[in-house]
Chain A
Amino acid sequence: MIIKSNKIIPASEITDPLIFKNRRQIIKAMAGSLLIGSGISSVFANDKIDWIKLPKANVLTNSLPVTPAEIVKNYTNYYEFTFNKTDTTSLAQNLRTDPWSVEISGEVETPGVYYLEDILSHQSLQEYIYRFRCVEAWSMVVPWIGFPLSALLKTVKPLSSARFVQFTSIYSPQVMPNQRDNAMLDWPYQEGLRIDEAMHPLTILAVGMYGETMPKQNGAPLRLVVPWKYGFKSIKAIVKIELLKKPPVTTWNKFAPNDYGFYSNVNPTVAHPRWSQNSERQLGGSFFTPRRQTELFNGYAHQVASLYNDMDLRHFF
Protein backbone atom coordinates (compact mmCIF):
# COMPACT_ATOMS: atom_id res chain seq x y z
CA MET A 1 0.00 0.00 0.00
CA ILE A 2 1.10 3.53 -0.72
CA ILE A 3 0.82 5.94 2.16
CA LYS A 4 -1.25 8.94 1.21
CA SER A 5 -1.04 12.48 2.46
CA ASN A 6 -3.63 15.01 1.39
CA LYS A 7 -1.65 18.23 1.27
CA ILE A 8 0.57 19.56 -1.44
CA ILE A 9 3.72 20.85 0.21
CA PRO A 10 4.70 24.31 -0.97
CA ALA A 11 8.38 24.74 -1.71
CA SER A 12 8.63 27.43 0.97
CA GLU A 13 7.73 24.90 3.65
CA ILE A 14 10.26 22.33 2.60
CA THR A 15 12.74 21.55 5.33
CA ASP A 16 16.38 22.32 4.87
CA PRO A 17 18.03 19.15 3.58
CA LEU A 18 20.59 19.20 6.39
CA ILE A 19 17.94 19.15 9.06
CA PHE A 20 16.10 16.58 7.07
CA LYS A 21 19.12 14.32 6.94
CA ASN A 22 19.60 14.68 10.68
CA ARG A 23 15.98 13.79 11.18
CA ARG A 24 16.59 10.64 9.25
CA GLN A 25 19.61 9.77 11.32
CA ILE A 26 17.52 10.20 14.45
CA ILE A 27 14.78 8.04 13.05
CA LYS A 28 17.31 5.46 11.91
CA ALA A 29 18.90 5.39 15.33
CA MET A 30 15.52 4.99 16.92
CA ALA A 31 14.53 2.33 14.47
CA GLY A 32 17.77 0.50 15.10
CA SER A 33 17.46 0.64 18.84
CA LEU A 34 13.85 -0.36 18.85
CA LEU A 35 14.43 -3.06 16.22
CA ILE A 36 11.45 -1.80 14.28
CA GLY A 37 12.83 -2.72 10.89
CA SER A 38 13.36 -0.73 7.75
CA GLY A 39 9.91 0.63 7.05
CA ILE A 40 11.05 4.23 6.98
CA SER A 41 14.31 3.95 5.14
CA SER A 42 14.16 4.72 1.47
CA VAL A 43 16.31 4.80 -1.59
CA PHE A 44 17.35 8.33 -0.82
CA ALA A 45 18.06 7.65 2.83
CA ASN A 46 21.42 6.18 1.99
CA ASP A 47 24.00 8.61 0.77
CA LYS A 48 25.47 6.13 -1.68
CA ILE A 49 23.47 3.42 -3.24
CA ASP A 50 24.99 0.70 -5.31
CA TRP A 51 22.82 1.07 -8.37
CA ILE A 52 25.44 -0.16 -10.75
CA LYS A 53 24.44 -3.74 -10.06
CA LEU A 54 20.81 -3.10 -10.93
CA PRO A 55 19.23 -5.56 -13.31
CA LYS A 56 18.99 -4.35 -16.87
CA ALA A 57 15.53 -3.99 -18.31
CA ASN A 58 14.81 -6.15 -21.30
CA VAL A 59 15.32 -3.50 -23.96
CA LEU A 60 16.80 -3.92 -27.43
CA THR A 61 19.15 -0.97 -27.00
CA ASN A 62 20.98 -2.43 -24.01
CA SER A 63 24.07 -3.08 -26.08
CA LEU A 64 24.41 0.52 -27.34
CA PRO A 65 27.62 2.38 -26.51
CA VAL A 66 26.72 4.79 -23.72
CA THR A 67 27.50 8.53 -24.05
CA PRO A 68 30.12 9.72 -21.51
CA ALA A 69 28.37 10.79 -18.29
CA GLU A 70 30.10 14.17 -18.18
CA ILE A 71 28.51 15.14 -21.48
CA VAL A 72 25.02 14.06 -20.45
CA LYS A 73 25.41 15.90 -17.14
CA ASN A 74 26.63 19.15 -18.67
CA TYR A 75 24.52 19.56 -21.78
CA THR A 76 20.94 19.96 -20.68
CA ASN A 77 17.97 21.99 -21.81
CA TYR A 78 16.30 23.22 -18.64
CA TYR A 79 14.61 26.44 -19.72
CA GLU A 80 13.27 27.13 -16.22
CA PHE A 81 16.84 28.01 -15.23
CA THR A 82 18.46 29.35 -18.39
CA PHE A 83 18.24 29.06 -22.15
CA ASN A 84 21.80 27.77 -22.50
CA LYS A 85 22.76 24.18 -21.97
CA THR A 86 25.78 24.49 -19.69
CA ASP A 87 24.86 26.97 -16.95
CA THR A 88 21.95 24.69 -16.03
CA THR A 89 24.42 22.44 -14.20
CA SER A 90 25.19 25.00 -11.51
CA LEU A 91 21.84 26.82 -11.49
CA ALA A 92 19.82 23.64 -11.01
CA GLN A 93 21.68 22.92 -7.76
CA ASN A 94 19.44 25.56 -6.14
CA LEU A 95 16.41 23.34 -6.54
CA ARG A 96 15.43 21.38 -3.44
CA THR A 97 14.51 17.86 -4.40
CA ASP A 98 14.36 16.18 -1.03
CA PRO A 99 11.69 15.64 0.26
CA TRP A 100 9.55 15.38 -2.85
CA SER A 101 5.96 14.49 -3.34
CA VAL A 102 3.88 13.83 -6.43
CA GLU A 103 0.20 14.51 -6.76
CA ILE A 104 -1.65 11.90 -8.75
CA SER A 105 -5.18 12.92 -9.60
CA GLY A 106 -7.92 12.92 -12.19
CA GLU A 107 -9.49 9.79 -13.54
CA VAL A 108 -8.10 7.38 -10.95
CA GLU A 109 -9.64 5.40 -8.13
CA THR A 110 -7.16 6.49 -5.46
CA PRO A 111 -6.01 10.05 -6.10
CA GLY A 112 -3.66 11.67 -3.62
CA VAL A 113 -0.29 13.17 -2.87
CA TYR A 114 2.43 10.58 -2.54
CA TYR A 115 5.93 10.98 -1.14
CA LEU A 116 8.55 9.89 -3.63
CA GLU A 117 10.07 7.59 -1.03
CA ASP A 118 6.77 5.79 -0.71
CA ILE A 119 6.37 5.55 -4.47
CA LEU A 120 9.87 4.10 -4.82
CA SER A 121 9.43 1.60 -2.01
CA HIS A 122 6.82 -0.10 -4.17
CA GLN A 123 8.80 -0.10 -7.41
CA SER A 124 11.70 -2.25 -8.46
CA LEU A 125 14.35 -0.15 -10.16
CA GLN A 126 16.05 -1.26 -13.34
CA GLU A 127 18.56 0.13 -15.76
CA TYR A 128 17.26 1.23 -19.16
CA ILE A 129 19.81 2.11 -21.82
CA TYR A 130 17.93 4.35 -24.23
CA ARG A 131 18.66 6.58 -27.17
CA PHE A 132 17.75 10.17 -26.45
CA ARG A 133 17.02 12.32 -29.51
CA CYS A 134 16.56 16.06 -29.10
CA VAL A 135 14.36 18.05 -31.48
CA GLU A 136 17.49 20.19 -32.05
CA ALA A 137 19.01 17.25 -33.97
CA TRP A 138 21.54 15.97 -31.45
CA SER A 139 21.38 12.65 -29.63
CA MET A 140 22.90 10.66 -26.82
CA VAL A 141 22.63 7.18 -25.29
CA VAL A 142 21.76 7.32 -21.60
CA PRO A 143 21.65 4.52 -19.01
CA TRP A 144 18.62 5.61 -16.99
CA ILE A 145 17.58 4.11 -13.69
CA GLY A 146 13.88 3.94 -13.18
CA PHE A 147 10.69 1.97 -13.34
CA PRO A 148 7.82 1.72 -15.84
CA LEU A 149 5.28 4.52 -15.60
CA SER A 150 2.61 1.86 -16.03
CA ALA A 151 3.65 0.26 -12.74
CA LEU A 152 2.96 3.50 -10.89
CA LEU A 153 -0.30 4.18 -12.71
CA LYS A 154 -1.54 0.68 -11.87
CA THR A 155 -1.15 1.36 -8.14
CA VAL A 156 -3.62 4.24 -8.36
CA LYS A 157 -6.03 2.27 -10.54
CA PRO A 158 -6.90 4.38 -13.61
CA LEU A 159 -10.60 4.54 -14.47
CA SER A 160 -11.74 3.45 -17.91
CA SER A 161 -12.46 7.10 -18.66
CA ALA A 162 -8.74 7.98 -18.41
CA ARG A 163 -7.55 8.49 -21.99
CA PHE A 164 -4.63 10.88 -21.52
CA VAL A 165 -1.96 11.61 -18.92
CA GLN A 166 -0.72 15.12 -18.14
CA PHE A 167 2.55 15.76 -16.33
CA THR A 168 3.47 18.99 -14.59
CA SER A 169 6.96 20.14 -13.56
CA ILE A 170 7.75 22.00 -10.40
CA TYR A 171 6.90 25.69 -10.22
CA SER A 172 9.58 27.30 -8.09
CA PRO A 173 10.19 30.90 -9.21
CA GLN A 174 12.46 31.54 -6.20
CA VAL A 175 15.16 29.34 -7.73
CA MET A 176 14.10 29.26 -11.39
CA PRO A 177 14.98 32.63 -12.99
CA ASN A 178 12.96 32.16 -16.17
CA GLN A 179 9.85 31.31 -14.18
CA ARG A 180 10.44 34.41 -12.08
CA ASP A 181 10.75 36.55 -15.23
CA ASN A 182 7.84 34.82 -16.95
CA ALA A 183 10.24 34.24 -19.82
CA MET A 184 9.17 32.67 -23.07
CA LEU A 185 7.10 29.61 -22.12
CA ASP A 186 4.03 29.30 -19.93
CA TRP A 187 5.26 28.00 -16.61
CA PRO A 188 5.11 25.48 -15.08
CA TYR A 189 6.22 23.15 -17.87
CA GLN A 190 3.62 20.60 -18.85
CA GLU A 191 3.69 17.53 -21.04
CA GLY A 192 1.27 14.80 -21.95
CA LEU A 193 0.86 11.32 -23.37
CA ARG A 194 -1.99 9.25 -24.65
CA ILE A 195 -2.87 6.56 -22.09
CA ASP A 196 -1.59 3.72 -24.31
CA GLU A 197 1.73 5.58 -24.74
CA ALA A 198 1.89 6.08 -20.97
CA MET A 199 1.23 2.41 -20.29
CA HIS A 200 3.80 1.23 -22.84
CA PRO A 201 6.62 -0.78 -21.22
CA LEU A 202 9.31 1.48 -22.77
CA THR A 203 7.87 4.56 -21.02
CA ILE A 204 9.63 4.99 -17.70
CA LEU A 205 9.93 7.35 -14.78
CA ALA A 206 13.63 7.80 -14.05
CA VAL A 207 15.21 8.61 -10.68
CA GLY A 208 18.82 8.11 -11.64
CA MET A 209 21.37 7.59 -14.39
CA TYR A 210 24.89 6.16 -14.70
CA GLY A 211 24.42 4.21 -11.49
CA GLU A 212 23.77 7.34 -9.45
CA THR A 213 20.91 9.45 -8.18
CA MET A 214 19.58 11.75 -10.92
CA PRO A 215 21.61 14.98 -11.15
CA LYS A 216 19.40 18.02 -10.61
CA GLN A 217 20.09 19.47 -14.06
CA ASN A 218 18.95 16.19 -15.62
CA GLY A 219 15.54 16.36 -13.95
CA ALA A 220 15.91 15.16 -10.37
CA PRO A 221 14.29 13.70 -8.49
CA LEU A 222 11.74 12.22 -10.88
CA ARG A 223 11.52 12.60 -14.64
CA LEU A 224 9.75 11.00 -17.54
CA VAL A 225 11.66 9.19 -20.29
CA VAL A 226 9.84 8.34 -23.52
CA PRO A 227 12.65 7.14 -25.79
CA TRP A 228 10.77 7.22 -29.11
CA LYS A 229 9.76 10.88 -28.77
CA TYR A 230 11.80 14.09 -28.98
CA GLY A 231 13.55 14.93 -25.72
CA PHE A 232 11.27 17.79 -24.70
CA LYS A 233 8.44 15.29 -24.14
CA SER A 234 10.49 13.70 -21.34
CA ILE A 235 9.49 16.23 -18.68
CA LYS A 236 11.73 16.87 -15.65
CA ALA A 237 11.08 17.32 -11.92
CA ILE A 238 7.52 16.01 -12.01
CA VAL A 239 5.20 17.16 -9.21
CA LYS A 240 1.87 16.22 -10.68
CA ILE A 241 0.48 13.41 -12.80
CA GLU A 242 -3.12 13.84 -13.85
CA LEU A 243 -5.19 11.35 -15.79
CA LEU A 244 -7.61 13.06 -18.13
CA LYS A 245 -10.52 12.38 -20.45
CA LYS A 246 -9.35 14.95 -23.00
CA PRO A 247 -5.95 15.74 -24.57
CA PRO A 248 -3.91 17.88 -22.19
CA VAL A 249 -2.23 21.17 -22.95
CA THR A 250 1.51 20.71 -23.50
CA THR A 251 3.97 23.58 -23.14
CA TRP A 252 5.87 23.58 -26.44
CA ASN A 253 2.76 22.79 -28.44
CA LYS A 254 1.02 25.78 -26.87
CA PHE A 255 4.05 28.00 -27.56
CA ALA A 256 4.42 27.05 -31.23
CA PRO A 257 1.70 24.63 -32.41
CA ASN A 258 3.05 24.44 -35.97
CA ASP A 259 6.55 23.56 -34.80
CA TYR A 260 5.92 21.09 -31.97
CA GLY A 261 3.06 18.62 -32.17
CA PHE A 262 1.41 16.75 -29.30
CA TYR A 263 2.92 13.45 -30.41
CA SER A 264 6.41 14.65 -31.35
CA ASN A 265 7.50 11.16 -32.28
CA VAL A 266 11.02 11.01 -33.67
CA ASN A 267 10.54 10.85 -37.42
CA PRO A 268 13.26 11.59 -39.99
CA THR A 269 10.72 12.17 -42.76
CA VAL A 270 8.75 14.87 -40.95
CA ALA A 271 10.90 18.00 -40.82
CA HIS A 272 10.52 20.78 -38.33
CA PRO A 273 9.14 23.77 -40.29
CA ARG A 274 12.57 25.41 -40.19
CA TRP A 275 15.06 22.53 -40.07
CA SER A 276 15.51 18.95 -41.14
CA GLN A 277 15.15 15.99 -38.76
CA ASN A 278 16.73 13.58 -41.22
CA SER A 279 20.01 13.14 -39.37
CA GLU A 280 21.45 13.79 -35.94
CA ARG A 281 24.80 14.49 -34.33
CA GLN A 282 25.65 11.91 -31.68
CA LEU A 283 27.35 13.57 -28.75
CA GLY A 284 30.53 12.09 -27.37
CA GLY A 285 32.06 11.26 -30.72
CA SER A 286 35.16 12.81 -32.21
CA PHE A 287 35.42 15.47 -34.89
CA PHE A 288 35.49 12.69 -37.43
CA THR A 289 32.37 10.85 -36.25
CA PRO A 290 29.82 11.33 -39.04
CA ARG A 291 26.22 12.29 -38.40
CA ARG A 292 23.80 9.47 -37.75
CA GLN A 293 20.78 8.84 -39.92
CA THR A 294 17.79 9.41 -37.62
CA GLU A 295 15.50 6.38 -37.33
CA LEU A 296 11.71 6.31 -37.29
CA PHE A 297 10.54 6.33 -33.65
CA ASN A 298 14.21 6.75 -32.73
CA GLY A 299 14.85 3.10 -33.50
CA TYR A 300 11.96 1.78 -31.37
CA ALA A 301 9.54 1.31 -34.28
CA HIS A 302 9.49 -2.42 -33.65
CA GLN A 303 7.98 -1.84 -30.20
CA VAL A 304 5.83 1.25 -30.66
CA ALA A 305 4.78 1.55 -34.32
CA SER A 306 1.60 -0.39 -33.59
CA LEU A 307 0.44 2.46 -31.33
CA TYR A 308 0.12 4.63 -34.44
CA ASN A 309 -1.42 2.23 -36.94
CA ASP A 310 -3.63 3.97 -39.48
CA MET A 311 -2.43 7.38 -38.33
CA ASP A 312 -1.01 9.91 -40.75
CA LEU A 313 2.26 10.74 -39.01
CA ARG A 314 2.62 13.92 -41.07
CA HIS A 315 -0.65 15.22 -39.74
CA PHE A 316 -0.18 13.92 -36.18
CA PHE A 317 3.42 15.07 -35.88
Chain B
Amino acid sequence: MFFRLNNVWLIINFACLIPLLALIFDINFNRLGADPVQAMHIRLGDWSMRFLWLTLVITPVQTFTKWQRMAVYRQMLGLYAFFYASLHVMTYLSVDHGFMWQLIGIDILESSYIWFGLIAYFIILLLAVSSPKSGKKRMGKNWKKLHQFIYIAAIAVIIHYYWQLKGNLAEPLFYLIIIILLLGFRIAVWFKNRQFNKMMIPTTKRVSVASIKQVSIFDQTVELSATTLKESIIQKILGYYECRNKK
Protein backbone atom coordinates (compact mmCIF):
# COMPACT_ATOMS: atom_id res chain seq x y z
CA MET B 1 0.00 0.00 0.00
CA PHE B 2 2.68 2.47 1.04
CA PHE B 3 4.81 1.54 -1.96
CA ARG B 4 1.95 2.09 -4.38
CA LEU B 5 1.20 5.50 -2.94
CA ASN B 6 4.84 6.39 -3.29
CA ASN B 7 4.76 5.41 -6.95
CA VAL B 8 1.81 7.68 -7.59
CA TRP B 9 3.60 10.42 -5.74
CA LEU B 10 6.65 10.00 -8.00
CA ILE B 11 4.58 9.96 -11.17
CA ILE B 12 2.69 13.12 -10.24
CA ASN B 13 5.92 14.88 -9.33
CA PHE B 14 7.39 13.99 -12.69
CA ALA B 15 4.23 15.16 -14.48
CA CYS B 16 4.45 18.49 -12.67
CA LEU B 17 8.00 18.97 -13.96
CA ILE B 18 7.12 18.27 -17.60
CA PRO B 19 6.21 21.93 -18.34
CA LEU B 20 9.65 22.98 -17.10
CA LEU B 21 11.41 20.30 -19.17
CA ALA B 22 9.39 21.32 -22.22
CA LEU B 23 10.38 24.93 -21.67
CA ILE B 24 14.06 24.05 -21.38
CA PHE B 25 13.75 22.01 -24.56
CA ASP B 26 12.10 24.90 -26.39
CA ILE B 27 14.73 27.36 -25.20
CA ASN B 28 17.54 25.07 -26.36
CA PHE B 29 16.01 24.51 -29.77
CA ASN B 30 14.94 28.12 -30.19
CA ARG B 31 11.26 27.32 -30.47
CA LEU B 32 9.86 30.20 -28.46
CA GLY B 33 9.13 32.51 -31.39
CA ALA B 34 10.12 36.08 -32.08
CA ASP B 35 10.00 37.23 -28.47
CA PRO B 36 11.44 34.27 -26.53
CA VAL B 37 11.85 36.18 -23.26
CA GLN B 38 8.19 37.15 -23.20
CA ALA B 39 7.12 33.68 -24.33
CA MET B 40 9.10 32.10 -21.50
CA HIS B 41 7.75 34.60 -18.99
CA ILE B 42 4.14 34.05 -20.08
CA ARG B 43 4.50 30.30 -20.11
CA LEU B 44 5.84 30.16 -16.55
CA GLY B 45 3.04 32.47 -15.41
CA ASP B 46 0.44 30.33 -17.16
CA TRP B 47 1.71 27.18 -15.49
CA SER B 48 1.78 28.80 -12.11
CA MET B 49 -1.86 29.75 -12.58
CA ARG B 50 -2.79 26.27 -13.80
CA PHE B 51 -1.19 24.66 -10.75
CA LEU B 52 -2.97 27.09 -8.47
CA TRP B 53 -6.29 26.16 -10.10
CA LEU B 54 -5.45 22.46 -9.75
CA THR B 55 -4.69 23.03 -6.08
CA LEU B 56 -8.16 24.46 -5.68
CA VAL B 57 -9.68 21.53 -7.60
CA ILE B 58 -8.59 18.97 -4.95
CA THR B 59 -11.09 19.87 -2.23
CA PRO B 60 -14.20 19.74 -4.47
CA VAL B 61 -12.98 16.45 -5.99
CA GLN B 62 -12.54 15.06 -2.49
CA THR B 63 -16.06 16.14 -1.56
CA PHE B 64 -17.73 14.69 -4.64
CA THR B 65 -15.80 11.41 -4.83
CA LYS B 66 -15.23 10.83 -1.12
CA TRP B 67 -11.62 9.97 -1.93
CA GLN B 68 -9.48 10.27 1.15
CA ARG B 69 -5.96 11.42 1.79
CA MET B 70 -5.75 13.92 -1.06
CA ALA B 71 -4.42 16.71 1.12
CA VAL B 72 -0.87 15.56 0.35
CA TYR B 73 -1.51 16.21 -3.37
CA ARG B 74 -3.12 19.53 -2.61
CA GLN B 75 0.05 20.57 -0.82
CA MET B 76 2.20 19.25 -3.64
CA LEU B 77 0.27 21.09 -6.37
CA GLY B 78 0.29 24.25 -4.30
CA LEU B 79 4.05 24.03 -3.95
CA TYR B 80 4.37 23.61 -7.72
CA ALA B 81 2.22 26.72 -8.21
CA PHE B 82 4.73 28.50 -5.95
CA PHE B 83 7.66 26.94 -7.83
CA TYR B 84 6.46 28.16 -11.25
CA ALA B 85 5.45 31.53 -9.81
CA SER B 86 9.00 31.90 -8.43
CA LEU B 87 10.49 31.10 -11.84
CA HIS B 88 8.04 33.60 -13.36
CA VAL B 89 9.22 36.31 -10.98
CA MET B 90 12.89 35.38 -11.48
CA THR B 91 12.47 35.58 -15.27
CA TYR B 92 10.98 39.04 -14.91
CA LEU B 93 13.86 40.25 -12.74
CA SER B 94 16.75 38.52 -14.49
CA VAL B 95 16.22 37.72 -18.16
CA ASP B 96 13.66 40.42 -18.86
CA HIS B 97 15.09 43.28 -16.81
CA GLY B 98 18.68 42.14 -16.24
CA PHE B 99 18.39 43.23 -12.56
CA MET B 100 18.31 46.88 -13.64
CA TRP B 101 16.55 48.00 -10.48
CA GLN B 102 15.68 51.46 -11.71
CA LEU B 103 13.88 50.04 -14.75
CA ILE B 104 12.19 47.45 -12.53
CA GLY B 105 11.09 50.08 -10.03
CA ILE B 106 9.53 52.31 -12.67
CA ASP B 107 7.93 49.34 -14.37
CA ILE B 108 6.29 48.09 -11.17
CA LEU B 109 5.16 51.56 -10.14
CA GLU B 110 3.56 52.26 -13.51
CA SER B 111 2.11 48.84 -14.28
CA SER B 112 -0.94 48.23 -12.14
CA TYR B 113 -1.31 44.66 -13.39
CA ILE B 114 2.02 43.81 -11.73
CA TRP B 115 0.65 44.94 -8.35
CA PHE B 116 -1.90 42.15 -8.43
CA GLY B 117 0.78 39.67 -9.45
CA LEU B 118 2.88 40.78 -6.49
CA ILE B 119 -0.03 40.42 -4.06
CA ALA B 120 -0.65 36.89 -5.35
CA TYR B 121 3.03 35.96 -5.17
CA PHE B 122 3.39 37.30 -1.63
CA ILE B 123 0.42 35.23 -0.44
CA ILE B 124 1.60 32.08 -2.19
CA LEU B 125 5.07 32.59 -0.73
CA LEU B 126 3.60 32.70 2.80
CA LEU B 127 1.50 29.62 2.14
CA ALA B 128 4.48 27.69 0.75
CA VAL B 129 6.68 28.60 3.71
CA SER B 130 4.01 27.58 6.23
CA SER B 131 2.90 24.46 4.36
CA PRO B 132 5.12 21.78 6.03
CA LYS B 133 3.63 19.75 8.87
CA SER B 134 5.79 21.54 11.40
CA GLY B 135 4.32 24.86 10.27
CA LYS B 136 0.85 23.45 10.54
CA LYS B 137 1.54 22.27 14.07
CA ARG B 138 3.10 25.51 15.19
CA MET B 139 0.34 27.71 13.82
CA GLY B 140 -2.60 25.67 15.09
CA LYS B 141 -5.94 27.26 14.22
CA ASN B 142 -4.28 30.19 12.45
CA TRP B 143 -2.87 27.86 9.82
CA LYS B 144 -6.30 27.30 8.27
CA LYS B 145 -7.09 30.99 8.44
CA LEU B 146 -3.84 31.83 6.67
CA HIS B 147 -4.35 29.19 4.02
CA GLN B 148 -7.78 30.53 3.20
CA PHE B 149 -5.89 33.48 1.70
CA ILE B 150 -5.37 31.24 -1.33
CA TYR B 151 -8.77 32.48 -2.51
CA ILE B 152 -7.53 36.06 -2.45
CA ALA B 153 -4.38 34.96 -4.27
CA ALA B 154 -6.54 33.30 -6.95
CA ILE B 155 -8.59 36.47 -7.45
CA ALA B 156 -5.38 38.55 -7.64
CA VAL B 157 -3.96 36.12 -10.21
CA ILE B 158 -6.97 36.35 -12.50
CA ILE B 159 -6.90 40.17 -12.28
CA HIS B 160 -3.13 40.11 -12.98
CA TYR B 161 -3.89 37.97 -16.03
CA TYR B 162 -6.75 40.06 -17.40
CA TRP B 163 -5.32 43.45 -16.57
CA GLN B 164 -2.40 43.21 -18.99
CA LEU B 165 -4.39 42.17 -22.07
CA LYS B 166 -4.81 44.66 -24.86
CA GLY B 167 -8.49 43.96 -25.31
CA ASN B 168 -9.18 40.48 -26.52
CA LEU B 169 -10.55 38.66 -23.53
CA ALA B 170 -11.76 35.48 -25.24
CA GLU B 171 -8.68 33.34 -24.56
CA PRO B 172 -8.43 33.82 -20.78
CA LEU B 173 -12.17 33.29 -20.41
CA PHE B 174 -11.55 29.58 -19.86
CA TYR B 175 -9.45 30.24 -16.77
CA LEU B 176 -11.93 32.78 -15.50
CA ILE B 177 -14.84 30.33 -15.76
CA ILE B 178 -12.85 27.63 -13.95
CA ILE B 179 -11.93 29.90 -11.06
CA ILE B 180 -15.53 31.15 -10.79
CA LEU B 181 -16.70 27.53 -10.53
CA LEU B 182 -14.02 26.68 -7.95
CA LEU B 183 -14.68 29.71 -5.78
CA GLY B 184 -18.43 29.27 -6.32
CA PHE B 185 -18.14 25.79 -4.84
CA ARG B 186 -16.61 27.25 -1.66
CA ILE B 187 -19.32 29.87 -1.42
CA ALA B 188 -22.01 27.19 -1.85
CA VAL B 189 -20.45 25.06 0.90
CA TRP B 190 -20.13 28.02 3.22
CA PHE B 191 -23.75 28.98 2.56
CA LYS B 192 -24.99 25.45 3.15
CA ASN B 193 -23.05 25.15 6.41
CA ARG B 194 -24.55 28.40 7.61
CA GLN B 195 -28.01 27.12 6.81
CA PHE B 196 -27.39 23.91 8.70
CA ASN B 197 -26.21 25.86 11.70
CA LYS B 198 -29.43 27.83 11.63
CA MET B 199 -31.46 24.63 11.37
CA MET B 200 -29.81 23.33 14.51
CA ILE B 201 -31.72 25.92 16.49
CA PRO B 202 -35.38 25.40 15.58
CA THR B 203 -37.20 28.66 16.14
CA THR B 204 -40.51 28.19 14.31
CA LYS B 205 -42.86 25.29 13.58
CA ARG B 206 -42.97 26.03 9.86
CA VAL B 207 -39.69 24.27 9.08
CA SER B 208 -41.09 20.87 10.00
CA VAL B 209 -40.59 18.62 6.92
CA ALA B 210 -37.62 20.39 5.42
CA SER B 211 -35.82 20.53 8.73
CA ILE B 212 -36.30 16.83 9.39
CA LYS B 213 -34.81 15.96 5.99
CA GLN B 214 -31.89 18.27 6.38
CA VAL B 215 -31.27 17.33 9.94
CA SER B 216 -31.22 13.73 8.86
CA ILE B 217 -28.61 14.59 6.25
CA PHE B 218 -26.75 16.42 8.88
CA ASP B 219 -26.89 13.40 11.18
CA GLN B 220 -25.44 11.26 8.42
CA THR B 221 -22.57 13.62 7.92
CA VAL B 222 -21.99 13.62 11.65
CA GLU B 223 -21.99 9.87 11.62
CA LEU B 224 -19.60 9.80 8.67
CA SER B 225 -17.19 12.17 10.25
CA ALA B 226 -17.42 10.23 13.46
CA THR B 227 -16.48 6.99 11.70
CA THR B 228 -13.62 8.64 9.84
CA LEU B 229 -12.47 10.09 13.11
CA LYS B 230 -12.59 6.66 14.70
CA GLU B 231 -10.65 5.21 11.77
CA SER B 232 -8.01 7.83 11.94
CA ILE B 233 -7.58 7.33 15.69
CA ILE B 234 -7.19 3.59 15.15
CA GLN B 235 -4.67 4.21 12.38
CA LYS B 236 -2.69 6.55 14.55
CA ILE B 237 -2.56 4.00 17.34
CA LEU B 238 -1.51 1.29 14.91
CA GLY B 239 1.16 3.56 13.42
CA TYR B 240 2.43 4.33 16.90
CA TYR B 241 2.82 0.63 17.67
CA GLU B 242 4.46 -0.01 14.30
CA CYS B 243 7.05 2.63 15.02
CA ARG B 244 7.65 1.25 18.44
CA ASN B 245 8.05 -2.29 17.09
CA LYS B 246 10.62 -1.12 14.53
CA LYS B 247 12.63 0.55 17.24
Interface residues of A (CB under 8 A from B): 71, 74-75, 79, 83, 85-86, 135-136, 138, 183-185, 255-256, 271, 273-279, 281, 283-284, 287-288, 290-291, 293
Contacts and interface: CB of A to CB of B under 8 A. Distances in A.
Given A276-B111, A278-B103, A293-B103, A287 B36 contact: yes
B95 A287 contact: yes
B36 A290 contact: no
B38 A279 contact: no
Given A279-B106, A290-B97, 4 more contacts: A75-B34, A256-B167, A275-B164, A276-B110
B113 A275 contact: yes
Contacts of A138: 35, 38
Contacts of A277: 110
Contacts of B27: 287
15 contacts: A71-B34, A75-B33, A85-B33, A138-B35, A184-B167, A274-B111, A275-B113, A275-B114, A276-B111, A278-B103, A287-B37, A287-B95, A290-B98, A291-B97, A291-B103
Contacts of B72: none
A184 B164 CA distance: 16
A36 B96 CA distance: 60
B35 A274 contact: no
Interface string B157-169: 0000001101110
Secondary structure of the A contact surface, majority rule? loop
Contact of B171 (A74, A83, A288): A83
Interface in B87-143: 95-98, 100, 103, 106-107, 109-114
Contacts of B177: none
Contacts of B35: 75, 138, 281, 283
B170 A273 contact: no
Interface string B163-194: 11011101100000000000000000000000
A184 B171 CA distance: 13
Contacts of A271: 110-111
B107 A274 contact: no
Contacts, number: 75
Given A75-B33, A184-B167, A287-B36, A278 B100 contact: no
Contact of B34 (A85, A255, A276, A291): A85
A291 B96 contact: yes
Give me the 8 closest cross-chain CB pairs, A-B, nearest first. A276-B110, A75-B34, A271-B110, A290-B98, A275-B111, A83-B168, A71-B34, A276-B107
Given A138-B35, A281-B37, A255 B107 contact: no
A86 B103 contact: no
Contacts of B166: 135-136
Of A71, A86, A283, A291, which is in contact with the most chain B CB atoms at under 10 Å from its CB? Answer: A291
Nearest to A178: B168
A201 to B, nearest CB: 30
Nearest to B107: A276
Contact of B106 (A75, A135, A278, A283): A278
A279 B110 CA distance: 11
B167 A283 contact: no
Contacts of A290: 97-98, 100
A72 to B, nearest CB: 8
A271 B42 CA distance: 21
A54 B62 CA distance: 70
A311 B235 CA distance: 77
A252 B77 CA distance: 40
Nearest to B98: A290
Contacts of B171: 83
A231 to B, nearest CB: 12
Contacts of A288: 95, 98
A75 B38 CA distance: 13
Contacts of B34: 71, 74-75, 85-86, 283-284
A278 B107 contact: yes
Contacts of A183: 168, 170
B113 A291 contact: no
Contacts of A281: 35, 37-38, 96
Contacts of A276: 106-107, 109-111
Contacts of A135: 166
Contacts of A255: 167
Contacts of A291: 96-98, 100, 103
A134 to B, nearest CB: 10
Interface in B35-55: 35-38
A66 to B, nearest CB: 14
B103 A83 contact: no
Nearest to A82: B168
Contacts of A293: 103
A86 B32 CA distance: 11
Nearest to A276: B110
A283 B163 CA distance: 23
B38 A275 contact: no
